[in-house]
Structure 1
């Protein structure tokens, strides 16, 4: 006997779960908002009741945001130095402003993706859940 259908649709694969978290949605149902404040996850998903209190993202989202920012800004910095005759002050102002803007834009999506990573792998109190595969035998 098959288990009753879920009232929500589980992600089909890891990238789908990661995308849900990156977009600030619950990694399990994809409907409920993940955050109650800028970097504060909700205690439970309002749609599927996933318990989010046990997640432990710690500093990893900041490392991800810094890694992405550095790799995107490196070619921009090289282009600014080689193609434009900017003073050190102008170059510093441009790069600093871009770095701060990118970091602020990436920190919440990075945290959502890390929470989705933990949920997908059943880490830190999350239960590993997968779509049931139809067996044809």
Structure 2
């Protein structure tokens, strides 16, 4: 006898398929792709794919989420990441910049304005490249914990 489909929650409260807001769609292709763990949902979001089905795109442009997933029809308008992705990308770029400065520019006989300009350019590039992945990751986290905004 097979076990009923359960979605694992971060706080170990198992809810069965009788709850309509947790139930995956009825067709089998969606049940196969539904994430079983938080980590799989986070990795799907970080790869800019729909955390729910991993087939559709999460963004229609650089940081603008799609209205509905093209595969599972999940509404991504209500899932907001706010400022967490910006803080995460700035933290990542700051840590990288400290390492780059320490190993490459600390004792280099280069003018200070060149060093500063290079570090600013590297920090901006890292922040801009990592921002969409962090936003997808935080949108997946918000969706997994069911903290979506309510439509009035």
- Which residue is equivalent to 1:68? 92
Match for residue 108 of structure 1 among 110, 132, 137: 132
Structure 1 residue 27, shift from structure 2 partner: 0.3
For normalisation by structure 1, the TM-score amounts to 0.84
**Greater CA deviation, 74-83 or 94-103?**
74-83
Say which structure, 1 or 2, has more relative contact order (CA 8 Å, 6+ apart): 1
Q: Identify the residue that residue 83 of structure 2 maps to in structure 1.
A: 59
Aligned-pair RMSD on alpha carbons?
Answer: 1.9
Report the counterpart of residue 29 of structure 1 in structure 2: 53
**TM-aligned CA deviation for residue 106 of structure 1:** 0.7
1:34 and 1:42 in contact (8 A); partners too: yes
1:80–1:91 contact (8 Å) kept in structure 2? no
- The reply on whether 1:117 has 2:137 as its aligned counterpart is no
State the alpha-carbon separation in 2 of the partners of residues 99 and 125 from structure 1.
32
Instruction: Give the gaps of 5 or more residues in structure 1.
Output: 127-137
Residues 5-48 of structure 1 show CA distances to partners (whole Å, capped at 9, x for unaligned) of 54321122111111110111000000100001110000111100
Report how many aligned residue pairs link the two structures: 126
User: How is 1:34-45 mapped onto 2 (pairs within 5 angstroms)?
Assistant: 34-45=58-69
TM-score, normalised with respect to structure 2? 0.76
